[in-house]
Structure 1
């Protein structure tokens, strides 16, 4: 496109989107309004900032003291598998902070769980704790009233937005279209890190964002995710990495954004919107548990493991420069995988490999006595991102045969997920789970959100409380609603999909973090992981991953039964079709999904390599439990024409 035409087109789009930039003077005025409105009053005059007495926070102090006494780092680590418990851990730690709270995330909503965190952060600021909140713009809070209120909430509370496209917080479809014309790569360079650091001694790293579906609180769809709490001196490295992002040029104070600043210039700092909790009973439950020292000790401290070597490895903002420095997470993970001797357990929601990753696993398989590679990933029925799944579907033959993966695809309705019974939504409920009695003395601000419609049925039969932009999904160029969303399924009820990103090598090294092991994580996003070299921790993480591959929770991907005639020709033609960047339309695919059928001769699950595999497993089709209809054609068209999308998926 001619540069002048491109510029004119971009200008038209931006003007149509109503995103004319504020002048530097206007930004300064908006920032001045926010700063002047920030209260300096404190609710506490004690040295400990009236912090909650927390056994989990105390574990951090214990680890630091033991490290100083021994002259060597000592750490403790707790895996957070259950969604609501991971929220309770965050709330407890925020309330126990005495000096500082640094929170970095990719998605931050305004629903029940996210509002509980916001309220806890503001309460900490009013106690005298220095609070810093850094959110990636693409999935940040889009409520301008909320952002305006937070920008002027308190002198101890700061909010910055990372990489704001066109200098604004709330995007529309003109902005998405404009980004394609002017700055596609920069638009896609996102801060995918998720990190919470308390007083520099306790940190949480993992896959969870701040939205109800990460904490088992959504009635339509929830993520099977994982975090790790780390207590000890390595948390200082987490704090240092956060500081680098906080100081980066792309991290912009919320009040200096065009749309937030315009709100402040017109109306001043608005009041914080009321907390209209959709389900107050679960808010009470989480709040009470987070304030209960005995509950916290049993849930998080008792299962904490003393671990040997802990390293926080995370990309820096320089990964997003025009001439970027070396990445951190990808090379570290590649070295771990390349050094595997017996086994690699890999859990990723999006099984789309880059060329370097494919070469890594090819080399691993070519060695003497190659390790077994077990992959836990999503099925089409479970994934939140069907477009990405289409690429995994296209390359199943390569992943199974050439790379030797043993692939397990997560079911949308697992029968043994790590979810509290109160959050296992039954299809029979029309108004949600039974109410939990409110403990004496507990209070809840707000009530059911106005306009919410509990019990409304979605097209896929699930309960829909509100439209949600989930995880990696994006609006299209034609609208601002989520279009890449879970597909309709054959059953009613809340379903689940994998979002955990974890790795175990030789039952010796365990990794939990944000890296999806895909081209997007390698090329566009910044990521962060915790690497723990400890056999006891690695075994516990391995068992957590293997639970997700059990027949109760996953299907096995395996080659189809060979046809009695022309099977070789079919394989050759299918392989040739797969290699085409477009027109991969060969209908008879190499592999499909299988379900375990226990019986007298099949008492235990088998691997796909077992001689009796086909006696104990039955094929259930390429897309089990998907209400296929025209969706099968959609997936096939994406696999046929979408190979060029792999780098950005």
Structure 2
């Protein structure tokens, strides 16, 4: 239990009282955890040295790349995973192809279709003889204590740990979260935001995607525009080393040792292996149909992978979360490894920075950096791709960003392009493998499906009838499917998206990427925000290669194109007293509270094609002399059905600047 600080004794006493009433004695806890360990199967379904792994052209590429690499001349292959279903397909294929080890690290792990499919495959890999290690941040680690108990007692080859658990729990219901906020705010606010998947120490996937339908175009009403990197080469060893540092950290606790999981095990014993009916089994079948298709795998993941040499993995370590590192100590020096590395790249920029972040909330150090760049005699051009209020999943973060639009444009020279909720031209997959599939009521009797990774009878949950087995094989068991929801109301920076004027399948920006001077490309987990600098642990891959940088730049510019984004530009001057209005708005913005001036410096513009404005994919510059010739103002919050949200934006603009460091 965290130590209480002066001024919070009452809250701490309440937490201790509630926890004490429900907690286990050390002997009971050890006994419950022992039940999970004793229940783990030792059965290995495959006697072959390769663990009956699926043959993989991706792993073959990785072995060839590593064999050709030397310390003096490292070689790598890198592929941008822009298409969401392909990002899931690559993960499933690599897990099935693993022969020795799988390391998975993530912030969010839900229990919807995409997450369940990955869980199924991880369980199957453990039974094949592969060592599987799963590390999830506590705040968004699966929905049910039952699932955590099942995984912790499943197999000797599968281990699950939760990072930085608060109040001795794997799951924090809302009342417990409120208490934790009162007594243990510092601990609660320090999260592991890293995302990583490594197979056999040969291939790694890093980037912004968590394990939830929204990240793979499987959401029914909202999906994220996100980006991962698939990497092969010596840098993968650095990823494994960083994972090991988190895995062995004191803050990483085996699931079965946490109070709520131990209580479940003590009361109920180890539950059956976790598997829920797929909400959309047809979509699962369509993706699994390609998992062993060598032609598809080579075309999508091997042939387009770029040969690159200079690749660096920069990542924070768990020591960043020491509550009070001594100034000048190694812990303090390591505290901002990822943030410091990214700021160093920005500081060295010569002529152009492409920056993509879902939440445009800058730390004080980042603001000072960009202000200094803009004050150079020949400042670099800074193009920013971020969310609009209509597309964001973080309403509070957008409200703070909205407050500082004048500063971003005038003081930093940002060219801001805010993502539309219904973009016309981004990698969004619809149809068999993606969104908007109708849910089938029943599959035809001869419908093919790749083997589901967990067979309940094979994993010791008892035999099923023939009819039940046939239904389960098709993902059509009659078990009710729980309504899709985020694993925690606190999993993102500000809750669910705002209401729009029209219905449709919405897309929100979640990619975190950067290109410097057309020669350095960065993809990672850092949102270039205060949380990433000081509170979250983060990671990023830096590739110094013009061809890779060009490919990444093209992807980011596509998201900024007029069909996909609104441009933020200065609002037209008031017909009278424009100077007074500007100064009042500037003064109001500077106030830490009471920023109540209703007229902001900037607003949103949309490109309007016409006789003198041909359709274009080039993001317009709001500083161009002819900007208004082809761009018309569409209001501060286009597409949004504001209602009371207008009041919310104004309130957080006025009073919420103090929240900026934690958004």
CA offset at residue 20 of structure 1?
3.4
Kindly indicate whether the alpha-carbon contact (under 8 Å) linking 1:280 and 1:448 is maintained by their aligned counterparts in 2. no
Q: 1:471-505 CA distances to partner (integer Å, 9 max, x unpaired)? A: 96469xxxxxxx72111001112201000000100
Aligned to 1:478: none
- Matched residues in 2 for 1:393 and 1:5: separation? 34
Equivalent runs, 1:474-493 vs 2, <5 Å? 484-493=495-504
Kindly indicate whether the alpha-carbon contact (under 8 Å) linking 1:148 and 1:263 is maintained by their aligned counterparts in 2. yes
- Matched residues in 2 for 1:144 and 1:333: separation? 37
Which residue of 323, 335, 339 maps to 2:344? 335
- Matched residues in 1 for 2:60 and 2:613: separation? 49
- Matched residues in 2 for 1:19 and 1:298: separation? 58
Kindly indicate whether the alpha-carbon contact (under 8 Å) linking 1:382 and 1:410 is maintained by their aligned counterparts in 2. yes
1:19–1:468 distance in 2 versus 1, CA, 3 Å? farther
1:447 pairs with 2:473: no
1:339–1:432 distance in 2 versus 1, CA, 3 Å? farther
CA offset at residue 144 of structure 1?
1.3
Which residue of 480, 485, 505 maps to 1:467? 485
CA offset at residue 6 of structure 1?
3.2
CA offset at residue 608 of structure 1?
1.4
Q: Secondary structure at the match of 1:219?
A: coil
- Matched residues in 2 for 1:160 and 1:3: separation? 28
1:178–1:213 distance in 2 versus 1, CA, 3 Å? same
CA offset at residue 441 of structure 1?
5.3
CA offset at residue 432 of structure 1?
8.4
Kindly indicate whether the alpha-carbon contact (under 8 Å) linking 1:329 and 1:527 is maintained by their aligned counterparts in 2. yes
Kindly indicate whether the alpha-carbon contact (under 8 Å) linking 1:285 and 1:436 is maintained by their aligned counterparts in 2. no
Q: Secondary structure at the match of 2:639?
A: coil
1:381–1:117 distance in 2 versus 1, CA, 3 Å? same
Kindly indicate whether the alpha-carbon contact (under 8 Å) linking 1:277 and 1:449 is maintained by their aligned counterparts in 2. no
Q: 1:50-101 CA distances to partner (integer Å, 9 max, x unpaired)? A: 1111111111111111114x85211000000111110000011111111110
Kindly indicate whether the alpha-carbon contact (under 8 Å) linking 1:385 and 1:472 is maintained by their aligned counterparts in 2. no
CA offset at residue 576 of structure 1?
0.2
1:211–1:105 distance in 2 versus 1, CA, 3 Å? same
Which residue of 346, 351, 369 maps to 2:355? 346
1:171–1:18 distance in 2 versus 1, CA, 3 Å? farther
CA offset at residue 286 of structure 1?
1.4
- Matched residues in 2 for 1:550 and 1:449: separation? 45
Structure 2, gaps ≥5 residues long: 326-330, 452-472
Equivalent runs, 1:463-612 vs 2, <5 Å? 466-469=484-487, 473=491, 484-603=495-614, 604=616, 605=618, 606-612=620-626
- Matched residues in 1 for 2:286 and 2:488: separation? 25
1:618 pairs with 2:632: yes
Aligned to 1:641: 655
1:48 pairs with 2:50: yes
1:528–1:198 distance in 2 versus 1, CA, 3 Å? same
1:74–1:470 distance in 2 versus 1, CA, 3 Å? farther
1:389 pairs with 2:390: no
Kindly indicate whether the alpha-carbon contact (under 8 Å) linking 2:141 and 2:487 is maintained by their aligned counterparts in 1. no
Kindly indicate whether the alpha-carbon contact (under 8 Å) linking 2:139 and 2:490 is maintained by their aligned counterparts in 1. no
Kindly indicate whether the alpha-carbon contact (under 8 Å) linking 2:108 and 2:487 is maintained by their aligned counterparts in 1. no
1:228–1:591 distance in 2 versus 1, CA, 3 Å? same
Kindly indicate whether the alpha-carbon contact (under 8 Å) linking 1:278 and 1:449 is maintained by their aligned counterparts in 2. no
Which residue of 33, 36, 52 maps to 2:35? 33
Equivalent runs, 1:151-300 vs 2, <5 Å? 151-300=152-301
1:487–1:438 distance in 2 versus 1, CA, 3 Å? farther
Q: 1:177-217 CA distances to partner (integer Å, 9 max, x unpaired)? A: 22232220110100000000111111000000000000010
Kindly indicate whether the alpha-carbon contact (under 8 Å) linking 1:14 and 1:20 is maintained by their aligned counterparts in 2. no
Q: 1:252-298 CA distances to partner (integer Å, 9 max, x unpaired)? A: 00000001011111121110243310000111111121221211111
1:434–1:354 distance in 2 versus 1, CA, 3 Å? farther
The worse-fitting range, judged by mean Cα deviation, of 508-517 and 441-450 is 441-450
1:103 pairs with 2:104: yes
Equivalent runs, 1:13-24 vs 2, <5 Å? 13=15, 15-16=17-18, 20-24=22-26
Kindly indicate whether the alpha-carbon contact (under 8 Å) linking 1:470 and 1:485 is maintained by their aligned counterparts in 2. no
The worse-fitting range, judged by mean Cα deviation, of 325-334 and 384-393 is 325-334
- Matched residues in 1 for 2:571 and 2:429: separation? 37
Kindly indicate whether the alpha-carbon contact (under 8 Å) linking 1:352 and 1:392 is maintained by their aligned counterparts in 2. yes
The worse-fitting range, judged by mean Cα deviation, of 417-426 and 319-328 is 417-426
- Matched residues in 2 for 1:263 and 1:27: separation? 11
CA offset at residue 241 of structure 1?
0.2
Query: What is the alpha-carbon root mean square deviation over aligned residues?
Result: 2.2
CA offset at residue 385 of structure 1?
0.6
Q: Aligned residue pairs: how many? A: 627
Equivalent runs, 1:292-441 vs 2, <5 Å? 292-322=293-323, 323=325, 324-325=331-332, 326=334, 327-422=336-431, 425=435, 440=448
Q: 1:8-44 CA distances to partner (integer Å, 9 max, x unpaired)? A: 4333245447873333222221221111111111111
- Matched residues in 1 for 2:442 and 2:224: separation? 22
Equivalent runs, 1:69-80 vs 2, <5 Å? 72-80=73-81
1:632 pairs with 2:646: yes
CA offset at residue 5 of structure 1?
7.5
Structure 1, gaps ≥5 residues long: 454-464, 476-482
Q: 1:149-203 CA distances to partner (integer Å, 9 max, x unpaired)? A: 1001111100000001111111122322222322201101000000001111110
- Matched residues in 1 for 2:303 and 2:559: separation? 24
CA offset at residue 527 of structure 1?
0.2
Kindly indicate whether the alpha-carbon contact (under 8 Å) linking 1:19 and 1:259 is maintained by their aligned counterparts in 2. no
CA offset at residue 124 of structure 1?
0.9
TM-score under structure 1 length normalisation: 0.93
- Matched residues in 2 for 1:585 and 1:143: separation? 43
- Matched residues in 2 for 1:486 and 1:536: separation? 36
